[in-house]
Amino acid sequence: MNTHPPADNAAHVLVVDDEPDLRTLYELTLLREGHQVQTAGSLAQARALLAAQRFAVVITDMRLPDGLGLELLRELSAAQRPERCIVITAYGSAENAVESLKSGAFDYLTKPVDLKQFRAVVRSALQAPAAAGGVAAAAAAPPQAQPASAKAPEEDDGGPAGAAALRRLIGDSAVMRVVKQSIAKVARSMAPVLVRGESGTGKELIAMAIHACSHRGAGPFVPVNCGAIPETLLEAEFFGARKGSYTGAAQDRAGFFQAASGGTLFLDEIGDLPLPMQAKLLRAIQERRVRPLGDTHEEAVDVRIVSATHKDLAAEVQAGRFRQDLFYRLNVIEIVAPPLRERREDLPALCQALLARIAADTGAQPYRLSERQWREIASAPLEGNVRELENLLHRAVALSEGGAADTGNMPLQFAPPQPAPSAASQQEPPDQPASQPAALADAPISAADPGLPADLKAWLSEQEKQILIRALEQTGFNRTAAAAKLGLNLRQIRYRMAQLGISDPSADDDADDNDDDPG
């Protein structure tokens, strides 16, 4: 008997499960939350109830006597019904969970169901906007670009915060309209999203827009650069640690999962995560529970996962460097961040926005590009994408004489000094050590020969420094891209930059390898 009368804003919830005890448990839990509940023990009963009325939320077990709960999801999606669906799957059935999300489920729960988590998921589903078929459509096929006159996604979803986040994705090209439409659709559910794209294409901004447009927009957004964390600290950073669990742990500390509770955890450069940590991350994502380092008990976590990479994860799986089950779990819905070469028509808007931001940050007068500079930008390869473009504009403003005029001082390719022989260098006094590579290559092996460097270690360090600077400047000081050019990983190039005293002239260190600037 319902001893808790429904509240004025009570939601109508349908529970579908063939086990009477579980059905009663779910019903009582929801009644205590003030909702109106109806129950069904089979697909046939559920279909009859759905034909008679509409519900805010449908909670269904995966396996029913007359079929699968997925059938109900697909029917609701095909009929463009507004119900948010939650699927309950068997313990460890990652494939079923992923399949349910791809079929349009808002979220899933794993048996045995934790009632606290059960209430939290239902609460999230009720807060989410109704959007029939949106997630299923986004997972099944990429959206088609709408004409420019079509209603912009920011008018539909996420409120002011979501609209502002979408506006930060500058550009109205066809590929950018596809990205914004995808964001508006996938934001409505808890389905994991993988953002794929080259370095500097704006992957983090896409993740922020997904968060801002979702019902979790008021919660925390926690970005994590998976390639920048020392391997020995990964578990403590992700899952937290108890006091004394390792040397230096003077007190309990929360991990990324706990910090993102009620919000979104953004795993940037997920392809750089070591294999042992991939297994632990997979379990945390599937079971929604983490065990802090040094603790004997797990704790439930409530986060949505959005990940990003510039790598081809399918190829990484084939090469044995990335777990197939984790890839399958993360890649429920994929959004591709297009490179600048595929949206050249967005360059004027990007330049205008970046120059305005540079002026606001530096307090300088707005900088205007000359026609020659516009032509140079339009023809530049910009392999570092928006990050390289921003560095290029920073350089132009820094070298300008008047600050707001047509100065023509924009080098499109940074040109570090090249060690090449010159007439002046050939006339150096014979006792001055040569510093040119050619001089060393042509010199006979003799300790007394002035062609040898006086300090081999210093000479080699200088050559390494020049090579690193050249790679960094070619990629707009995008460390991830520069490292890839040189066959290094992110940690190695950061270490060498620190040892050689190399710093980014146009970005502070707090931005530490933020490859995804506006765009």
Assign 3-class secondary structure to 122-134. HHHHHHCCCCCCH
Worst-scoring range by mean pLDDT, 13-17, 308-312, 506-510?
A: 506-510
Q: Residue 209 in contact with residue 179, Cβ under 8 Å?
A: no
Find, among 326, 314, 315, the residue nearest to 277 by Cα: 326
Is the pLDDT assigned to residue 23 strictly greater than 90?
yes
The whole-number pLDDT of residue 249 equals: 76
Find, among 95, 153, 97, 116, the residue nearest to 335 by Cα: 153
Helix extents (H) in 319-454: 324-330, 347-362, 371-379, 385-399, 423-426, 437-442
Confidence of residue 91 (pLDDT cuts 50, 70, 90): low
Is the pLDDT assigned to residue 171 strictly greater than 80?
yes
The whole-number pLDDT of residue 519 equals: 52
CATH topology of domain 12-135: Rossmann fold (3.40.50)
Provide the 10 A C-beta neighbour count for residue 362: 13
Dist CA 72 CA 81 (whole Å): 11
The whole-number pLDDT of residue 498 equals: 82
Worst-scoring range by mean pLDDT, 34-48, 121-135, 398-412?
A: 398-412
The per-residue pLDDT of the chain, averaged, comes to: 80
The whole-number pLDDT of residue 342 equals: 93
Find, among 287, 188, 303, the residue nearest to 254 by Cα: 303
Is the pLDDT assigned to residue 437 strictly greater than 50?
no
Q: Percent of the chain at pLDDT above 90? A: 39
Which of 7-11, 185-189, 427-431 shows the highest mean pLDDT?
185-189
Residue, of 64 and 464, whose pLDDT is higher: 64
Q: Note the Cα 71 to chain centre separation in Å.
A: 31
Q: Residue 88 in contact with residue 109, Cβ under 8 Å?
A: yes
Q: CATH topology of 12-135 equal to that of 142-338? A: yes
- Phi, psi angles (nearest 5°) of residue 229: -105, 125
CATH number of the domain at 142-338, please?
3.40.50.300
Which is it for strands 299-300 and 289-290: parallel, antiparallel or unpaired?
antiparallel
* Mean pLDDT of the 328-334 span: 91
The whole-number pLDDT of residue 66 equals: 92
Is the pLDDT assigned to residue 515 strictly greater than 70?
no
Is the pLDDT assigned to residue 334 strictly greater than 80?
yes
| Local structure of 2: helix, strand or coil | coil
Is the pLDDT assigned to residue 26 strictly greater than 90?
yes
Residue, of 110 and 506, whose pLDDT is higher: 110
Worst-scoring range by mean pLDDT, 70-74, 266-270, 357-361, 434-438?
A: 434-438
Q: Percent of the chain at pLDDT above 70? A: 78
Domain ranges across the chain: 12-135, 142-338, 341-399, 433-475+477-511
Dist CA 338 CA 191 (whole Å): 22
Is the pLDDT assigned to residue 425 strictly greater than 70?
no
**Residue 480 one-letter amino acid:** T
The whole-number pLDDT of residue 432 equals: 40
pLDDT tens-place string over residues 196-210:
999 999 999 999 999
The whole-number pLDDT of residue 445 equals: 37
Worst-scoring range by mean pLDDT, 298-302, 323-327, 369-373?
A: 369-373
CATH topology of domain 341-399: Helicase, Ruva Protein; domain 3 (1.10.8)
Is the pLDDT assigned to residue 3 strictly greater than 50?
no
The whole-number pLDDT of residue 491 equals: 79
- The domain defined by 433-475+477-511 carries CATH number 1.10.150.120: no
pLDDT tens-place string over residues 447-496:
344 456 777 777 778 888 888 888 888 888 888 888 888 888 887 888 78
Is the pLDDT assigned to residue 33 strictly greater than 50?
yes
The whole-number pLDDT of residue 449 equals: 42
Question: If residue 109 lies in a helix (H) or strand (E), which one and from where to where?
Answer: strand 107-110
The whole-number pLDDT of residue 6 equals: 47
Question: How many residues comprise the chain?
Answer: 519
Is the pLDDT assigned to residue 28 strictly greater than 90?
yes
Exposure string (b/e) for 497-514, b if CB count within 10 Å is 16 or more?
Answer: beeeebebebbeeeeebb
Is the pLDDT assigned to residue 419 strictly greater than 60?
no
pLDDT tens-place string over residues 228-263:
999 989 999 999 999 888 777 788 889 999 999 999
Is the pLDDT assigned to residue 5 strictly greater than 50?
no
Is the pLDDT assigned to residue 346 strictly greater than 70?
yes
pLDDT tens-place string over residues 46-57:
999 999 999 999
